[in-house]
Amino acid sequence: MSISSLIKADNSGAADTHFGKEGIAVINASHLTTGNSSCVVATPDNMFLATWAANTPDNSSVMGIARLTNDGAMDRTFGVEGLVECVFKQGHRNVASGLALMPDTRTLLWGHFLINSVKPVPALICVKKDGAVDKTFAEQGIFAVPEPLENESYMFNSACVSPDNSIFMVYGKSLVSAP
């Protein structure tokens, strides 16, 4: 089943007909239903990484990273059939927002998980070039900001990696008034 599509154009804006089918590549996963992507980045080895999120037949949701070759095919050397499923925190809704490439070929997936289905907690997952979670990063491959207090709410806006491998996360914090 298709969960999302990527379109590739040349610098004039014309579809790159060598990418996918007439410039459109499809991210496929046979065990998932509808889905979407929110971010794509080009890698130094001329591949593409995209975030994805999809619904499962039991109406739960999953998210992760897809890797495509320069011609738009799923890269079968990455994860399983070109897809890596990621979880910031088990038992919570996890939302993928973006990707940041590290100079050492690892990739950070950033987004958030929801507490009580409403309070987002910013988080990062670090994966290796083959899609395996890098268990040496933070706590078993996952970094999350401390969960907000009862009267606080967070929203993750962006992340990037500097040339010296420092990771920057931008998130907002607001106070919620008591009822």
- 15 pLDDT exceeds 60? yes
Residue-wise pLDDT tens digits, 81-97: 898 988 888 877 888 88
Measured CA to CA, the distance from residue 164 to residue 120 in angstroms comes to 29
pLDDT given at position 130: 94
Residue-wise pLDDT tens digits, 101-131: 998 889 999 888 877 777 888 899 999 999 9
* Residue 97 CB coordination number (10 Å): 21
Q: Domain map of the chain by residue range?
A: 1-86, 88-174
- 166 pLDDT exceeds 70? yes
> Using 50, 70 and 90 to split pLDDT, how confident is the model at 146?
confident
pLDDT given at position 88: 87
* Residue 24 CB coordination number (10 Å): 15
Nearby residues of 166 by Cβ (< 8 Å), 6 or more positions away: none
**Rounded average pLDDT over 146-154:** 78
Percent of the chain past pLDDT 90, that is, above it, reads: 37
Give me the long-range contacts of 168-175 (CB less than 8 A, separation at least 24). Answer: 169/110, 169/122, 169/124, 169/145, 171/122, 171/145, 173/148, 175/151
pLDDT given at position 179: 55
pLDDT given at position 136: 96
Residue-wise pLDDT tens digits, 38-71: 789 999 999 999 988 776 666 667 788 999 999 9
Tell me what the pLDDT averaged over the chain comes to: 84
